[in-house]
Amino acid sequence: MTTNKATRSKDVTLVGAGLAGCLLATLLGRRGYDVTVLERRADPRRAGAERGRSINLALSARGLDALERVGLREEALAAALPMRGRMVHPVTGSPNFQSYSADGTRAINSISRSGLNEALLDTAEKTPGVTVLFESRVEAVDLERGVVTVARPDGVQELAASIVLACDGAYSATRRAVQFREGTNYAQDFLEHGYKELTIPARDGDFAIDPTALHIWARGGSMMIALPNLDKSFTCTLFWPKDGPGGLSSLSTAAQVRAHFAREYPDVVDLMPTLAEDYLANPVGSLVTVRAWPWTAHGAAASVALVGDAAHAIVPFYGQGANCAFEDAIEIDTLLDRHDGDWSRVLPAYEKARKPNTDAIAAMALQNFVEMRDLVNSRVHRTKNTAMHALERWFPSLVVSRYELVSFSTVPYAEVLRRTRRQGRVLTTIGALGATALGAIAARGLRRR
């Protein structure tokens, strides 16, 4: 890192008052930093949540660990619905439940994104030293002069800045302002699949389907999932190819939508009274993986670092986007301690520590999309899942499933990937010796319990 006059700055310009931004602003404020948070949108507590963001998300161990550090863990859990496993819905026949953990007790937590964001925003604003400026869009970042140009309702302003933390998401304006420097690698890769959200409302004042599971309708090339909400509705998300046969754009009339759902999702079509209207009205979202390197850039007067989705947006199939972004914030907080507030050591250490882990979760999230869609072969998967959990119970020091390590531990993602790849090879070897026998034994083991 070029040492610039920002090295010991106690002033931080933080862009983006989303989940990671609010958490990081709070952590920095508590350390005595003066944090100016620039948020492009209006205050969501007054303006309502922006359309087009996902409605809920799955909070797991990493996210809860982060929230605990700002005293929000219990509040978040109180507003969340635990999901202890996946409920896989075949086209015909009844759904089957697969526990996420060997002992069946651990859960990921369905929580409202906007609710969680507002709680974090309240916490950030209450922290001395933190100021949040809404409707403040970053237009340019000049690291040589130490200036961030911001468009606000009352005009364009230049704000002095020495440390700029870009928490402004996959489409980060801050990143765009610096990413074209020579030597800055960058990639954005979109899936052919898009997503669209639908609703299963409460029925007779109660959940229409089991609220203790994450529901999956796996259909090979595409899928639908559903997560429960506090108001006893479910938010369903379609992950379908954007175009082509069976794609999101292939249904254009209410009759087509209803016929398609009656054929592909027969067990829930009748639980979705506004299905066709919602389908035709709701936008199609994109699924992007962002890779950047380095995450930091340095000029004579200022340094910038990318945080969360701005550095490493991932696809949502491991439910780790927010959890992972929180970990970035925790890493910066920890390193400020270790390096005694010296940004010239904190920022390089931050990117170096986090990059292998965010690369790992990016890869695992992409792999899990294939795996989830393949749950269509649910019998095979169920046997595998059961066998895996049996092994975990019998050899807990040797075998833990990837899903458990990602969701129920804070083991670094890169280590999870390494460890479960090794495990995968061992299991493949065992499999060659008799996967079917093992499955049978495991299933028997389960029934004995």
Near its own copies by CB under 8 A: residue from 187, 280, 380, 430: 187
Q: 79 or 191, CB closer to its own copies?
A: 191
Q: Among residues 41 and 258, whose Cβ is nearest to its own copies?
A: 41
By C-alpha distance, which of 371, 260, 281, 359 is closest to 317?
371
Give the nearer residue to its own copies in terms of CB position, either 212 or 286: 286
- CA atoms in the 13 A half-sphere facing the CB of 170: 17
Assess 205 for contact with its own copies (CB under 8 A): no
Stretch that binds its own copies, among 23-31, 186-194, 269-277, 375-383 (CB under 8 A): 186-194
What track of x and - describes contact with its own copies for positions 24 through 63 (by CB under 8 A)? ----------------------------------------
Nearer to its own copies, 103 or 139 (CB): 139
97 beta partners? 87
Classify residue 54 by burial, with Cβ atoms within 10 Å: 0-12, 13-18, 19+: middle
Which residue stretch of 70-78, 107-115, 180-188, 196-204 sits at the interface with its own copies (rule: CB under 8 A)? 180-188
Q: Would you say 202 and 208 are in contact if contact means Cβ atoms under 8 Å apart?
A: yes
- Cβ distance to its own copies smaller for residue 74 or 144: 144
Contacts of 147 (CB under 8 A, 6+ apart): 141, 158, 159, 160, 161, 301, 302
Least distance to its own copies, CB of residue 20, Å: 20
- Tell me the C-alpha distance between 120 and 126, whole Å: 10
Q: Which long-range contacts (CB under 8 A, 24 or more apart) does 178-184 make?
A: 178/141, 178/143, 178/297, 178/304, 179/292, 181/297, 184/292, 184/293, 184/294, 184/297
Q: Whole-number minimum distance, CB 171 to its own copies, in Å?
A: 6
Q: How far is the CB of 139 from its own copies (least distance, A)?
A: 12
Site string for its own copies, 157-176 (x = CB under 8 A): --------------x----x
Beta carbons of 331 and 294 less than 8 angstroms apart: no
Binding mask 242-261 for its own copies (x = CB under 8 A): x-------------------
Decide: is 193 part of the binding site for its own copies (CB under 8 A): no
Contacts with its own copies in 272-301 (CB under 8 A)? 286, 288
Distance between CA atoms of 136 and 249, rounded to whole angstroms? Answer: 35
| φ and ψ at residue 154, rounded to 5 degrees | -95, 15
| Helix (H) or strand (E) run with residue 214 in it | strand 213-218
Strand order in the sheet with 108-112: 56-59, 108-112, 81-83
State the minimum distance, in angstroms, from the CB of residue 180 to its own copies.
6
Residue 190 sits in the site that holds its own copies (CB under 8 A): yes
Residue ranges that bind its own copies, judged by CB under 8 A: 171, 176, 180, 182-190, 242, 286, 288
